[in-house]
Amino acid sequence: MKFRIDARIIVSALFAALAIPVGVAAQEQQPQEPAKLQHYKLTMLPTLGGSWSIAQGMNIKGQVVGGAYLPGDVIFHASLWQHGTVTDLGSLQGGPFSITYTNPNERGEVSGYSNTQTPDPNGEDFCLAGTHLICLGFVWRDGVMSALPTLGGINGQAYQINDRGQVVGVAENNTPDATCSVFSLEAKPVVWQDGMVQELQTVPGDPDGWGYGINDQGQIVGATGTCFANQPAASLHAVLWPDGPGGGLVDLGNLGGTNSNIPFYISNQGQVVGLSGVPGNIYWHAFLWTQATGMQDLGTLPGDSWSWANNINDKNQAVGISFPPVANERAFIWQNGVMTDLNTLIPAGSPLYLLEAFGINNRGQIAGWGQLANGDYRAFLLDPCEDGDVSCGDGAAGARVTTQGSPAHVIEHSTTAPPVNPALVGRAMMNRFRARRSPGLRAPGPSTKP
């Protein structure tokens, strides 16, 4: 989707409405000593019987969520990993595709979106899975996946869920989107609570928007712009709704570019991470935003041109992805002002090349996905090494890499719906997940094998 921002929006005076603890702001102003680099045990997480698995986030209990192929690599379902097993969360109405977005909450509730088996009457592909089936947001709790309502339109997507059970995302209304080059309905940023949907304000002139992250105080971050349907993307306003649906919004600004300004996550301390365009509108970089400092460029790994940050914990550790124009993407951790390739912090000779880190909890565990030598993708979990454990991720040959066992639970599924397009959920999985993070955002170059 091509976002056409026609006017410069003045940053709102609502910055003062976002309450950031004084202690946090003071801590940010203190010089920090270089931290000793943590090394990690690597665990590869299983699929649901197919060839791929992808992790999207995790909570403090170490529950990891994402998605995986079922046998035959045609159906792709949202998944939950815990205690060495993987659970198929199913899909809505037996649709062929579902995926979670980010961390489960501390009650183990999961949010995401799913195809149904019903063709979209407008021909939209809102789930970006190549099926052109109706796509709806969901919440999974106590073994049951429940669809979330729209604003009167056809489609929706749910992204993050907080510990209060509030979910943010996007939902269509029934108004045709005048900014689209093909027929599409307006897509509005929303928050769901107790099964009810509420629309969030957009930047004036932006008919569309998406809520991506929500913390336990109900503060929401996302983006507003034009036309969800137009591809490729993406000139967006990165915004904060400091009072949820009950207040206005704050434009978080940018790093000097006018495109790809997208926040993905907000911590309980009000720290926001995401990506923003830099001058020239060719590259985008990971950013950290706080009320005290504004938007800070986190840069890239050496030699790279693009990056973004997916998550940040309460210890000021952020994780994400960095990549050059051509060659391998690399998962990173950013802490104490330094970005480090996570591939340098796991056992030497690992069979898995870490492409992207999605989640990090307050115990320092990291979830993401990587690539095997045969091109398949696997979800991973990184556990911090304990001092004195010479067998753990210290760069020595023979350090610990484990693989969790076979699927523990598979929900019955229907195969009557059209299969997920293997050209999109296959070799181009990375681009589709980038599109999920910011609809229309595409990789600058092809992924290559490690």
Question: Which tens digit of pLDDT belongs to each residue from 111-120?
Answer: 999 999 999 9
Comparing 127 with 30, the larger pLDDT belongs to 127
Q: How confident is the model at residue 101 (pLDDT cuts 50, 70, 90)?
A: confident
Comparing 421 with 246, the larger pLDDT belongs to 246
Closest CA to 44 of 53, 57, 56, 35: 53
Q: CA-CA distance, 283 to 306, in Å (whole number)? A: 6
pLDDT at 27 over 60: no
Q: CA-CA distance, 242 to 17, in Å (whole number)? A: 7
Predicted local distance difference test score (pLDDT) of residue 79: 97
The per-residue pLDDT for range 388-426, each reduced to its tens digit, is: 676 565 543 333 456 665 433 333 333 344 455 433 333
pLDDT at 15 over 90: no
Return the CATH number of 109-377+422-437, one of 2.130.10, 2.60.40, 2.40.128, 1.20.1630: 2.130.10
| Residues sharing a CB contact under 8 Å with residue 307, sequence separation 6 or more, in sequence order | 275, 284, 285, 286, 298, 299, 300, 301, 320, 321, 322, 323, 332, 339
The per-residue pLDDT for range 317-327, each reduced to its tens digit, is: 999 999 887 77
Give the mean pLDDT of the chain.
81
Comparing 25 with 103, the larger pLDDT belongs to 103
Closest CA to 323 of 351, 355, 348, 352: 355
Distance in angstroms between the alpha carbons of the first and the last residue of the chain: 30
Comparing 281 with 311, the larger pLDDT belongs to 311
